[in-house]
Structure formats: structure tokens, C-alpha cells
Amino acid sequence: MIIDHPLLGPRDAQEFVILGDASLIDRPDWQAGDAARQFHDYLHLRDNPAGEHRELWFHEQGDRSWLVVTRNTLTHEILKVELARDVAVARGRDR
Amino acid sequence: MSGPYRIDGGAIDRGRSLAFRFDGRSLSGHPGDTLASALLANGVRLVGRSFKYHRPRGVFAAGSEEPNALVELRGGAWREPNTRATVAELFDGLEAFSQNYRGSLRRDLLAVNDLLAPFLSAGFYYKTFMWPKSFWEKVYEPVIRASAGLGRLSGEADPDSYDKGFLHCDLLIIGAGPAGLAAALAAGRSGARVILADEDFVMGGRLNAETHEVNGRSGADWAAEAVRELASMDRVRLLLRTAVTGAYDHGIYGALERRTDHLAAADGKPRQVLWRIYSKRTILAAGATERPIAFGGNDRPGVMLAGAVRAYANRFAVGAGRRVGVFTNNDDGWRTAVDLARKGVEVAAVIDARDCEPVAEVPGARALMGGRVTATRGRHGLKEVTLATGERIALDCLAVSGGWNPNVHLTCHHGGRPVWHDGIAAFVPGDRLPVGMTVAGAAGGAFNAAGTLTGGHGAAVEALDELGFSVAAGDPPGASDEATDVAPFWHVGESRGRAWLDLQNDVTVKDVEQAHREGFRSVEHLKRYTTLGMATDQGKTANVGALAIMAGQTGRSIAETGTTMFRPPYTPVPIAAFAGRSRGRDFRPTRLTPSHDWAAERGAVFVEAGAWLRAQWFPRPGETHWRQSVDREVLQTRGSVGICDVTTLGKIDIQGRDAAEFLNRIYANGFAKLAVGKVRYGLMLREDGIAYDDGTTARLGENHFIMTTTTVNAVLVFRNMEFARQCLWPGLDVHLISVTEQWAQFAVAGPNSRALLRKIVDPEHDISNEAFPFMACGEVGVCGGTPARLFRISFSGELAYEVAVPARYGEALMAALMAAGEEFGAVAYGTEALGVMRIEKGHAAANELNGQTTARMLGMQRMVSKNKDCIGNVLSERPEMNREDGLELTGFRPVDRSEELPSGAHFLATGAEAATENDEGWMTSVAWSPELGHSIGLGFIRNGHTRIGETVRAWDGLRGRDVAVEIVSAHFLDPDGERLRG
Amino acid sequence: MAESPLRARPALDGYNRSIGAVALAEVSGLALVSAAAPQGGDEAFAAALAGGLGAERPATGDSSAGDKFGARVLGMQPDQMFILFEPPDPDRPAETVSAALGGAAYVTDQTDSWAMLRVAGAGVRNALERICMLDLDDAAFPEGRVARTVMEHLAVIVLRDGADSFLLMSPRSSARSFLHAVELSVANLSQ
């Protein structure tokens, strides 16, 4: 596979490590009343869609950026590649 | 001229002769020959025995689709079985051998199988080798194994080398026939970066095998001129002898280049190179493969594909027979008759299954329209055919054409299914092609030269346009339109005897009919039950004919029946090519510590730790057992001082205004309040609360930390920290960079370590206990100004330091430390002694951190801060992970001190049965403690801290051990840590 | 106290060899220091690069030449540069960069982390295509382009420093395996 890195252009997927569902960005609040339940869901419950899927990939043998790759799991078509940091900030993550 | 069957013309170099041997017989051919063409030129028709029935077989095709002519090439360790003679280029000195017989090729003892054929039909394995069950392994399997397979492996390591590589292009063109060449010319002239790959050793494809004219000259000449022009373009890369074997995601293709197979010796260069080709667009111009017609005895040597007979005549200057017949259902078959007659080969008859007018006037040949061949004769080669009319015709070669199948294989590699095209009675690529691929020429169903040329050109123009190239002006090359009519005809119903479909796996029409009778209705089932198309040729000449027979049985059309899928590779790829250079020492890289050469010179024994080689112990003269060396290293370290290279530990430089806060969230325990100049032990949890790594982190400055990780987890910890930094807390100001390789780091441990370091550390740095206490760190100079970092940390439990210098000074520092330690009797110690000392101190390591370990099990539950957010702290509070009766790390010693503890043993109460429900935990690590003089162990046992002094059993069912052990503190030595603070 | 200062050992022991038309040589004497821009400090960082090294801040994957210390700034990560330069004090390269950038960046010495090998000569790209998955074509990877990638399981930083010249940097501990991989690639091609 080839991942079209937003900063570097197309790079072979061999340079990357996949982590999984991009929802791992949405780490729950540790002080929430039901934090244990939220963390359980965050860590263990995933959708496994046949179709578009947002995934976290790490450009380990590259610029060390974490990316959010939107990929069709049926065709392997890659529809979008974003810097995960930008995605995280847009989703309200900060300090 | 070499060989009695040579005729005029052809693209062989008659000026040179090449001597070769087949089954020990000396023969000769010419450059430009394949082994197959040279054998035919010499009149060798019997070249092998078939897989199942051991029937005599000869050359059938002229390309990579060959099902029959599989031979062993070369000798000794170079022996390569199952090589297709039709693609083996002849070279001087080539040795080839026929295969799959017992006795001699002409008198194969296993030919008895042919007489047993009624019992060996489809599925006979499944029916025959069922009972008794006790025969499965002892009788059936050895018998089946002995008769399975074709050629013999050398049984030796492959002496050749192989390589891999990566190529990039705008346009990959697969196949250099008329369509591929026309496409390459258009693309090359437009300035695109082109790769043109062809599996043959001459480009031009069928143009070299035909008598077509292109742009007013012979097709072969036009092709040669086109190749010359392409070779002169620096953006065009020509890959000869290169089969593109697979289409992968996003325009990536696999290709096997055979670089030295056509040479007598590889001369130390890679024999084959497996390329990974990155293309923006791809044109599949892979041509078409002719298919036979099934009739009685159609497997006899001398029965060949008509297009192959034509290729042997036109390209290789070989008459495949002296009296040839053609059996066809299409116009193209007639071209064989016409070309042979022109070359002076006697053509006895053209037998056309169609009821139509003769397609051409063939001098000397009878045109038998509506004719059908029902049987053949000739023990080791064709002598005569019988027609449905009962007429017999003496022939030594029958050229058969049942039409042509586009080579759609690569179009299916992403799940696309070919569709049936009535006009050419063949499957053509469907509409779901791999992204970026277009199909041109015969591969797309265009079967005349004019169509392939314009198709190839047009496909290139379209691709270039999409890629943004302005297309160079020029018309596609032109050729005359020839007739290509075909009427589907698969099987002569009146056949006498078996009619073969798959020659390589010996599958006949009867087998397909029987499979249908037994209920195998889907093509996928048919394939697996009869093994049709499952040999090394993947049924290139067989599949469609068999589908047609099956469709006939079910009363459905071929389109409704559908076809099986094609997967990579298109042609066989040796495992050696997949391995490439990753063999032996080159299987993976080796990481060496800065003191590696120093240690090797002193005879150190090394152990692999991931990719690292670490000194395991340093034997001295007279030491005959590893324990002697390790015991000495431990005792001398604890008694005086020892030095160990600990460079392999992961080191991460962490800087930023929020570095302390970041560490606070990465580690379970707190780091925010760590003072500058101090080191702290840290425990890392996974988000599920399980401990996964530990190490020490030193605060070098307000905003500057240096973290160590375990050797094996260095990469993982860095990755996880980058995830936390970029995805979880992108607002924190923190930066990470690995410095594992930057610093050579040595542990200096033992009561004399300070005295030793006083001789190394420059005198302006005070390293007294008061100025530089336990868990202090700082930047110092060593050996007269070399910058260094000093950490007062201890894994051994002794007064100890770790000293780090830039890696280029590492080897020299090791030598300097040893020289400075000479007066103390300093020893170098390896990972074994390191392990013994950490077990003596009860420090957890990889054996304890096995992915199931909680902080509580390590006795560190109080370290997990509840007052801050950190990875893993929420889920570490799950009740099951905090049970009062949970497993806890403790020490163990044998009740009988002379016994050795078994690692991995499970703990059982005295008298309890060895059963899962009685399991109380397990022994994680054991060592011989030279200081205590007995075996010691660490392990997890239920409620351990309340059971000190209790006796249990360490039961090891694998080794048959059952040892009474006493539960003790994990701190076998110096439980209050007085030594390390001294 | 030790009598003599420690002797430095280059990662590749000063390897220097030509195979066919390709010259392979260890580069020693250059320092490599990483510099990371603090959050919110991008402008100050760019200004410090310009002022302290006379270099522009390169985009990730590009590099820029400075006019001090013979420096070249390599854009390794979105917020991290590597500065390759001739150090006035080889034992304190981080201090040199720190002083030049006036505290506008977090700096870390990387000099000893990487073995540096220059491969140069006609056909060098044909040799590298046996191990390097990057497209090193003139259009895709012109002079001055830099990338971190993987070759034969090893991390490699590739800097194109000439038409037919590449500076390759790979971790020091596996430098011998890396050199072997490059050597073999060149030898496999040479006549």
C-alpha cells in the first residue's frame, strides 16, 4: 500500500506502523464519574466497518508523524490522510 | 546446422553453436534457442513423464504456459527441478534431465499407473486412502509422498545469490508484444518514465513468431527497431526476462527478473531479482495463450499448440514435425499451415471442426472441413491420427488450436472477475481492474496485429493524458487486418480413449464429467476435486476447456458457469527470490555495543537480545563451565568492582516546558517533583493497567530529562510516547528524540566502584557520597575532558554508577575503566551475571513483565498515583487486578539447598494434586547465587507477602521436577539497601 | 586520573572504498544536532536559524544551507530539524548550536547516533534501488531533498547532496550491517 503523507507525499506503507481505530485519540476524562466504564469502552470497543475506516498510522521509519488515514477496508482505497495532531486539536484535545 | 529438424529463417544465430546435454546425450543448438526449440531441432520429442499416469510427454507450447516439458536443469547444488524447457534459454554447456520416471525415460516402470488409470480417476485419494485409519501415517502417506512431485531437489543449500529492488515509473507496461511496444513508443516519446517488462529474452512477443508486417516491414524487424529506439531513451527502462507476477495495492507490482539463468554461471552476481515496481499507471499488454481441443490421446508427444508450432518454425527455425497436420476451430490455426508450407514443411491436412469454406489455400494439404480427430497412435511420439470418419492419417506432429484466451490473470488480482465474450469465445477482463490499470491488445481480446498496435498506442495516449503529459504527435503503427473468426469447439465427443484437459496434473474430460456426476457443481469445487489447474502452470492451457466441458454437463452457458480466480504469482517465483539476500548472516541486521570488539578480543560469549549481540559472560582460561565464569563475575563485582556494557537500554531525550508534566502522565508514579540532578525509577502501564516497561529517568535540567527503557521495548515506548504527545496532549510543549545510539553507557558496580571512578572522572567533579549520593546524576568530564554523564543508580544492589560518553568514545572508555580497575581486580561482566545479581535483589525484568503483570503483583501498587492522570491508572483500579489474594512477587529457595530450582514451575500446596484448580502461581526467574551458595528464584504466588516462611512445591511437569521450596523475601541480599547507599 | 584523553573510534573505522564507478566513504568530522522548535516558538526558531546559522527553516523533507559552520539544516519532522555542520569543538556540538540559536530550540547531540556514509558516482542510484524504496529520481528527489526511510530493516536518513551523490546516515550500532548492505548493492551491480 501507499500512503500519501500530507507533508511528504506518497510513501510505502512499509515505513509505517498501524495502531488501529482513530477513536483512540478520544481518550476519556480520568476524573469522570464513570471513568472506568468510559476507559473500558475506549480501549476495548471498536467498530469494524466493511468500508470507510479511520485508522491511526505512525510514520516510524519516516518523519515520526502520527497520521489519521481514512481507508476503505473493502478496496484498500485511501480517501484521506491527515496529521493526527491536527485531528486531535480539532477534536478539542489540548493539554 | 544443428539438428535434423532445422529449417530456414528464424532469429537464431547460426554462426555460433552451443553444446548441451539432455539425459547425458550430447546435442547442439544456437544462440536464440530455448532448450525446447533445441530439443525439437534435434528430433527429441519425448522429454518427460506425466505427473499421475506417467504418460510419455513432449513439448506442447512455446512459452511460459508450458504444461509438459518440465525438466531438471544443471547439476549438483545448482540442480533446479520443474523448469519449463520452453523458457530455458540455451547456453553452452547446459545440462538438462528429464524427470518423473523410475528406470529410464523411455521405459518408465511407473508407467504401470497408466494401466491402473480406471482406479486413479478424480478424487481417488479421498476414496482410496480412507481405511484402516492406522494406515494413514504408516502406509498411505509414505507411498503418496514417494510418488508425489515431479523433479528432485538437490537437497543442498542454493549456491546462488538473489536480490530484491524497488523501481518507480509513470507507466508500467506489462508485455512487449505489439501492443506493449506501441504503448511504450507513445509514452517514451512523450517523455514519460516508462518501464517495459517482458518475460521473454527478446522483446516483440508474437511479432517474432508470426509473419505479420508492421509499417511495411516484418513484424520482428519493426519490433527490433522499436526496442532500439526505446533503449536510447533515458526515461525508459527495458526489463527483459522479467515476468510481472502480481498486482498489489495502489499501483505496486511484483516482478521477477531472471538475470543469469541464461548464463553458464552467475559469476557471483544475483541470479534473480524480485522487483517491487511502483507505477502511476499500468498497461497490461500480456497477450493471449492458445488453448487446445480435447480429443482421444491428445497428450502424445507431437500433439502441440498450433501457435507454438508456428513460433518454432518462424522464430526458432524448427519444424516440429516432418509431416504436420493442423486441427483447428478457428482461422488462426490455418496460419500455422500456411507458414509451415511456406517454409517447406509438409502439411498433410488441415482439419477444421467448423463446417465452412477453407480459410486459405495450403499447398499440398487437404482441407478437411467439419473434421474431428478422435484418436492418436505412437508409443513415444505421434505417428498417426484417426478422424471421426474413421480415416487414418500418418502425421508426426498435430498442431492444435482451440482458440486463444486473453491473459487476464493480473486483472483478477484485486478481485475482478473476467467476463465471457462470445465474439472471441473467451474470457476478457471484467470492469473491476486494479486501480490505474488498463488492458490493451490480445490481453483485452484484440486478436489481430492491427488491433493490438492501435490498442496499445491508444491506451498509452489515454494514460499519458491522465498523467498530464502532452502526447507526442504520431500515428499508431499500422498492420493489415487478418481474419480471426472462431467457433467454440472444446471436445471431440466421439473420442476413443482419454481426452486430456490438464496435461500437467493429468486431468481428463472423464474426470470433469465424473466430478459433475458426484455433485461438484461450482467451478471452485471442480478445481479442487479434480486438481484441474492446480499444477505449476496453473492451468493456463487447461482451465477454459474444462469450464466448457462442465458447462456442457450442467446445461448452462460458460458465462453462467463462470471461471475460477487468478491469484499471484502469474508464473512460479522461487522461494529464494522472495528471500532475496536475507539469508544466513544477512537474515537481519546485527546491532553491536560500543565494547563489542573489546569483548570479542577477550573471548566473550555473546547472546542475541533482539538484534543486539551482548556479552553473556567472559570466560577465563581454565574455566570450563559457564557457571564458573558467571559466579566469578558476580562474586568479584560484589566483592570489589565489575563493569558491564549497558548501552542497549533505550534512551530517550525529553525536553520542553511541559516535559515534567508529560512524564507524570507517561509513568504511573510521579515525576513532577523530581529535583534537577536526580534520578527516579519509573513504572509504565499500558492503558489497560498492565505494567509493560520500567526504567530510570534522570532530570538533567528544569526542562530536560533523559529516560531509559528496557532494551526490547525501546522502540515501543518511543512510539507510545509520540502517540501521547501528538494525539492525546498536543498542547503540551514536549519534544522527544532517541539517544540510544548516541551514548555508550557502562555500569560500574561494587564496593570499589567509587574508588575506580575517582580515577576516571575528572577531579573537578566531586563524586563523594555526600556530593553525589544514591540516585544523583550530572554531567561530568572523564579522562581529561571527554564529556560524560554520570548516574548513581544500581541494578545489582551494590554501590554502583552508570557512566555514559558519546558512543565514539565507548570502546576507549571500556578499556580505560578496566585499566583503572586493575588494582581492584575489576572484572567485566555479562548479561548472565547481570541477571544473577538482579534476581538476588528481587528486581523485575522481562520474565516478570510478561504482559499479565499488574503493579500490585510487583508490590508497586502504592507507586501508582491516584492523584494525577496517567496512562493506565484508571483501569489499573479494576477489582480483579487488586484482589487481596492476588499473585505477588516473592523470592523462593529450595528447602534442600542442594536442589536446583526449576524456572517456569508452578506452585502447589504440599500434597495438592497437580491440577489447574490447585495452581497458586509460577516461578518466573531462577539463578544460582554464588554469594548464598544455593539456587534462588523469583515468582508470583497467591497472597505472597503474607506467606513468607511457608513451604510449597515447585512442580514442573515438563521436566518431571517437584521441588519443595520456601517462600522468602525477594530481596535475597542486603534487604535494606545499605550497600547501594554507602 | 587517566593519563590520556579517550580515543574516538569512527562508526565505520574510516571506511573508504570504490567499487566500480561508485565511491563509498565514511564521513567523519561533521556534527549532527537536532533542534526542535518549542510550541508557539516557530517564528523565533526561524529567526534564530536565520540569525545564528544563516539558514532558512526548511520544510519537512527538504534541507537548506546555512552560511555559518558549513551548516545544512535538514527538515526531519514537522517540529524538528537536524543540523549538520563543522563543529568548532567536536566534543560540544550541542552547545555550539544552542549558542547559535540563542535558546530558541531544544537541542540534542545526534553526532554519534548515526554512521554517515557518502555513496557517489555514476550508477549510484541503480545500486541504491536494490535497498531503498524511495524514488530517488531527479524530479522526485532533487539535490537537497532529505528523507528518513528504511533499508534492509535499518533506519536510514538519505540526503541527496549532489547529482550522483547521497549522504546516508544509519544507526551506529548496526553500522556494519548497513555498510554491508550498501556494499553488496553496489557490488551486485558492478561488472
Q: Tell me the pLDDT tens digit for each residue of B554-592.
A: 889 999 888 878 899 999 999 999 999 999 889 999 999
Type of residue found at B308: A
Of B884 and B149, the one with more pLDDT: B884
Tell me what percent of the residues of chain B surpass a pLDDT of 90: 85
Task: Please give, rounded to a whole number of angstroms, the shortest distance from the CA of B251 to a CA of chain A.
Answer: 8
pLDDT for C1 equals 39
pLDDT for C25 equals 98
DSSP secondary structure letter of residue B467? H
Query: In chain B, what residues touch C11 (CB-CB under 8 Å)?
Result: 807-808
Read off the pLDDT of each residue in B936-948 and give the average, rounded to a whole number: 96
Note the pLDDT tens digit of each residue in A47-90: 999 999 999 999 999 999 999 999 999 999 999 999 999 999 99
Read off the pLDDT of each residue in B307-311 and give the average, rounded to a whole number: 98
Q: Across all residues in chain B, what is the average pLDDT? A: 94
Instruction: Take residue B525 and report the three cell numbers written for it.
Output: 469445487
pLDDT by 10-residue block (mean), chain C, 191 residues? 74 97 96 97 97 97 97 97 97 96 96 98 95 97 98 97 97 98 93 60
Torsion over CA: B957, B959, B961, B967 (sign): negative
> Taking CB atoms and an 8 Å limit, are C91 and B656 in contact across chains?
no
Q: Is the pLDDT of residue B55 over 60?
A: yes
pLDDT for B56 equals 93
* pLDDT-based confidence at residue B502 (cuts at 50, 70, 90): very high
> Taking CB atoms and an 8 Å limit, are A8 and C61 in contact across chains?
yes
Tell me what percent of the residues of chain B surpass a pLDDT of 70: 98
Read off the pLDDT of each residue in B511-529 and give the average, rounded to a whole number: 89
> Taking CB atoms and an 8 Å limit, are C6 and B805 in contact across chains?
yes
Specify the 3-state DSSP secondary structure of B173. strand
Note the pLDDT tens digit of each residue in B711-739: 999 999 999 999 999 999 999 999 999 99
Chain A stretch 30-69, residues whose beta carbon is closer than 8 A to a beta carbon of chain B: 30-31, 35-36, 39-40, 42-43, 56, 58, 60, 64-66
B739 touches chain A (CB under 8 A): no
Read off the pLDDT of each residue in A23-47 and give the average, rounded to a whole number: 96
Which residue of chain C has the CA closest to B761?
C1
pLDDT for B146 equals 66
> Taking CB atoms and an 8 Å limit, are C80 and B737 in contact across chains?
yes
C107 touches chain A (CB under 8 A): no
> Taking CB atoms and an 8 Å limit, are A76 and B731 in contact across chains?
no
C176 touches chain B (CB under 8 A): yes
Range list of β-strands (E), B869-933: 887-894, 906-908, 921-929
pLDDT for B537 equals 87
Chain B interface disruption, residue of C33, C109, C112, C138, most B CBs within 10 A: C112
How far apart, in whole angstroms, are the C-alpha atoms of residue B952 and residue C72? 66
Closest CB to A62: pick one of C59, C80, C148: C148
Query: In chain A, what residues touch C59 (CB-CB under 8 Å)?
Result: 7
Specify the 3-state DSSP secondary structure of B78. helix
Closest CA to C98 of C52, C158, C47, C159: C52
Read off the pLDDT of each residue in B295-322 and give the average, rounded to a whole number: 97
Q: From residue B851, how far is each of B688, B845, B848, B855, B903 by CA, in Å?
A: 11, 12, 9, 11, 18
**A-C C-beta contacts closer than 8 Å:** 35
Neighbours of chain C (3+ CB pairs under 8 A): A, B
Three-state SS annotation for B612-654: EEEEEECCCCCCCCHHHHHHHHHHHHHHCCEEEECCCCEEEEE
B163 touches chain C (CB under 8 A): yes
Q: Across all residues in chain A, what is the average pLDDT? A: 97
Three-state SS annotation for chain C: CCCCCCCCCCCCCCCEEEECCEEEEECCCCEEEEEECCCCCHHHHHHHHHHHHCCCCCCCCCEEECCCCCCEEEEEECCEEEEEECCCCCCCHHHHHHHHHCCCCEEEECHHHEEEEEEECCCHHHHHCCCCCCCCCCCCCCCCCEEEEEECCEEEEEEEEECCEEEEEEEHHHHHHHHHHHHHHHHHHCC
pLDDT for B144 equals 66
Read off the pLDDT of each residue in B43-55 and give the average, rounded to a whole number: 91
C11 touches chain B (CB under 8 A): yes
Chain A interface disruption, residue of B281, B692, B874, most A CBs within 10 A: B874
Closest CB to C150: pick one of A8, A14, A85: A14
C149 touches chain A (CB under 8 A): yes
Instruction: Take residue B849 and report the three cell numbers written for it.
Output: 513483565
ipTM rounded to 2 decimals: 0.99
> Taking CB atoms and an 8 Å limit, are C112 and B743 in contact across chains?
yes
Q: Is the pLDDT of residue B76 over 90?
A: yes
Closest CB to A64: pick one of C61, C77, C147: C77
> Taking CB atoms and an 8 Å limit, are B722 and A2 in contact across chains?
no
Least confident piece of the model among B9-23, B97-111, B275-289, B633-647: B97-111
Closest CA to B636 of B482, B444, B796, B771: B796
Task: Please give, rounded to a whole number of angstroms, the shortest distance from the CA of C13 to a CA of chain B.
Answer: 10
Task: Please give, rounded to a whole number of angstroms, the shortest distance from the CA of A7 to a CA of chain B.
Answer: 15
Task: Please give, rounded to a whole number of angstroms, the shortest distance from the CA of B20 to a CA of chain C.
Answer: 27
> Taking CB atoms and an 8 Å limit, are A65 and B726 in contact across chains?
yes
Specify the 3-state DSSP secondary structure of B195. strand
* pLDDT-based confidence at residue B137 (cuts at 50, 70, 90): confident
pLDDT for C2 equals 40
> Taking CB atoms and an 8 Å limit, are C9 and B811 in contact across chains?
yes
Q: Is the pLDDT of residue B954 over 90?
A: yes
**A-B C-beta contacts closer than 8 Å:** 79
Instruction: Take residue B264 and report the three cell numbers written for it.
Output: 553458464
Which residue of chain C has the CA closest to A94?
C39
pLDDT for C122 equals 93
Neighbour-count burial for B243-252, b at 16+ CB within 10 Å, e otherwise: bbbbbbbbbb
How far apart, in whole angstroms, are the C-alpha atoms of residue B594 and residue B741? 9
pLDDT for C4 equals 53
Closest CA to B394 of B293, B475, B325, B297: B325
Specify the 3-state DSSP secondary structure of B281. strand
pLDDT for B112 equals 77
Which residue of chain A has the CA closest to B658?
A95
A81 touches chain B (CB under 8 A): no
What are the backbone angles phi and psi of residue B940, rounded to the nearest 5°? -100, 125
Contact C60, C78 (CB under 8 A): yes
Read off the pLDDT of each residue in B462-484 and give the average, rounded to a whole number: 88
Query: In chain C, what residues touch A8 (CB-CB under 8 Å)?
Result: 60-61, 147
Closest CB to A84: pick one of B252, B719, B727: B727
> Taking CB atoms and an 8 Å limit, are B589 and C40 in contact across chains?
no
pLDDT for B142 equals 73
Neighbour-count burial for B259-293, b at 16+ CB within 10 Å, e otherwise: bbbbeeebeebbbbbbbbbbbbbbbbbbbbbbbbb
Specify the 3-state DSSP secondary structure of B940. strand
Chain C stretch 58-77, residues whose beta carbon is closer than 8 A to a beta carbon of chain A: 59-61, 76-77
> Taking CB atoms and an 8 Å limit, are C61 and A65 in contact across chains?
no
Chain C interface disruption, residue of A59, A60, A64, most C CBs within 10 A: A64
Chain C stretch 66-125, residues whose beta carbon is closer than 8 A to a beta carbon of chain B: 79-80, 91-92, 106, 108-114
